[in-house]
Amino acid sequence: MTEAAHILVIEDNEPVRAFIARTLEDEGFVVEQAPDCPVAFSKLRHDCYDLVLLDLRLGDDDGMEILKTIRRQDETLPVIIVSSLQDIHTKVGGFEIGCDDYITKPFQSAELLWRIRRLLRRSSRQGCRDLIRQHLQAGPFSLDIKEVRVYRDGVLLQMRRKLFDILLFMAQNPEVVLTKEAIHERVWDPREAMNENSLYVHIHQLRTIIEDDPSRPRYLRTVRGLGFSFHPRG
């Protein structure tokens, strides 16, 4: 897999980006380059990648936002942060959001290649998953994945991040029964034990926001004994 792996290099410094791309291409990798967030999102939206190298300082944009958007949709795409930021809070923050590795600049090309090959060998990806999107339309609901906002028929709905993540997961799997365990695994911190009461409270809160009558839900339905399903057409 490593010889033909498709890698996206997101780096605003042109000499650094060109050096990384040339180093990877010399080793047989297929490389795409993105100098900023808009180009990166465009490429992630239109092509599949086996690994992403991500700088954090992208002009006026924050590379962490790209990582957050990726992780809301794809938990297995390997992401290595390549940054000059060396403070422990930034590193921990990157790992908490979901990066797989963190390498600081300046670095040796041999180390970067070793980390890439190590991640590709360990990757559990089975082919390409859905492309990374910034927006998702589900019936009357428009989800801005990058900005963590939901609109219904153009009207902004106020909701907390966890409610957004539940709705996003369900909108990505329309009319599919999602178990309580699956929702908890996708939305909650893996270190938290599953609490069914907490899940039911969040489902109720989400219904009060998206349903016309929360007591008679059209969109977010309970499938007794199994879990919940989302029906964008109501």
Q: Are residues 11 and 94 in the same domain?
A: yes
In a domain, 69, yes or no: yes
pLDDT of 63-86, one tens digit each? 999 999 999 888 889 999 999 999
In a domain, 107, yes or no: yes
Q: Are residues 18 and 85 in the same domain?
A: yes
Q: What is the pLDDT of residue 72?
A: 87
Q: What is the pLDDT of residue 217?
A: 96
Mean pLDDT, to the nearest integer, of 108-117? 95
Q: Are residues 171 and 141 in the same domain?
A: yes
CATH code of 13's domain: 3.40.50.2300
Q: What is the pLDDT of residue 60?
A: 84
Q: Cis bond leading into 106, ω under 30°? A: yes
Q: Are residues 37 and 62 in the same domain?
A: yes
Residue 2 has pLDDT above 60, yes or no: no
The parent domain of residue 166 ranges over 135-230
pLDDT of 150-199, one tens digit each? 999 999 999 999 999 999 999 999 999 999 999 998 888 766 777 889 99
Whole-model pTM: value is: 0.74
Beta strands in 16-154 (DSSP E): 30-34, 51-54, 57-58, 61-62, 79-83, 101-104, 135-138, 141-144, 149-152
Q: Are residues 8 and 109 in the same domain?
A: yes
Q: What is the pLDDT of residue 107?
A: 93
Sorted by sequence, the CB contacts under 8 Å of residue 27 that are 6+ apart come out as 113
Residue 3 has pLDDT above 70, yes or no: no
Q: Are residues 82 and 146 in the same domain?
A: no
CATH code of 191's domain: 1.10.10.10
Residue 22 has pLDDT above 50, yes or no: yes
In a domain, 130, yes or no: no
Q: Are residues 99 and 156 in the same domain?
A: no
Q: Are residues 110 and 214 in the same domain?
A: no
Q: What is the pLDDT of residue 225?
A: 87
Do residues 218 and 211 touch, judged by C-beta distance below 8 A?
yes
Domain edge (last residue) among 72, 93, 122: 122
Q: What is the DSSP letter of 51?
A: E
Q: Are residues 8 and 60 in the same domain?
A: yes
Please state, for a pLDDT cut of 70, what percent of the chain lies above it.
Answer: 95
Q: What is the pLDDT of residue 31?
A: 96
Number of separate domains in the chain: 2
Q: What is the pLDDT of residue 46?
A: 86
In a domain, 129, yes or no: no
Q: Are residues 86 and 148 in the same domain?
A: no
In a domain, 88, yes or no: yes
